[in-house]
Structure formats: structure tokens, C-alpha cells
């Protein structure tokens, strides 16, 4: 399973680009598909840069 070597804050996330994102709930890395960008506007930002999106708590990302 891949890991985030230099995770970036979710506030800088670019949903239209391929990326790896970390889900805090399951402690898993997910390959972000740019086709999902259309639903990104439904996300909620929380304290410390955590983002809730479709039941996931994303807390970091890096380019794929």
C-alpha cells in the first residue's frame, strides 16, 4: 500500500488532479480520481485542515 511521503494540507488540495489522499478514519491511502472533482464541492472543512467527503475524513494528500 502506498504512503504519503510529504503530505500536504487539504486546504491546498486540487481535486482535478490525480493524487493520493489519507483517510483518517481507516488510516488508509486512497487514489484520488479526478473524475470525483465534480462532487468535491460537497465536502466540509473541519479544524486542523481535516475534510469530510463522502464519509471519509481526509487529512493529507500528495500528487500521484
Q: Mean pLDDT, consecutive 10-residue segments, the chain of 64 residues?
A: 84 96 95 96 89 96 95
| pLDDT of 26 | 95
Whole-number Å distance between alpha carbons of 64 and 61: 9
| pLDDT of 56 | 96
Burial status of residue 5 (CB atoms within 10 A of its CB: 0-12, 13-18, 19 or more) = exposed
Spell out the domain ranges in the chain: 11-63
| pLDDT of 49 | 86
Residue pair 59/37 in contact (Cβ under 8 Å)? The answer is no
Whole-model pTM: value is: 0.89
Amino acid at each position: 500500500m502506498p504512503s504519503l511521503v510529504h503530505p500536504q494540507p487539504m486546504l491546498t488540495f486540487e481535486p482535478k488532479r490525480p493524487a493520493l489522499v489519507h483517510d483518517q478514519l481507516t488510516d488508509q491511502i486512497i487514489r484520488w480520481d479526478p473524475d470525483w472533482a465534480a462532487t468535491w464541492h460537497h465536502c466540509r472543512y473541519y479544524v486542523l485542515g481535516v475534510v469530510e467527503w463522502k464519509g471519509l475524513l481526509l487529512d493529507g494528500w500528495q500528487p500521484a
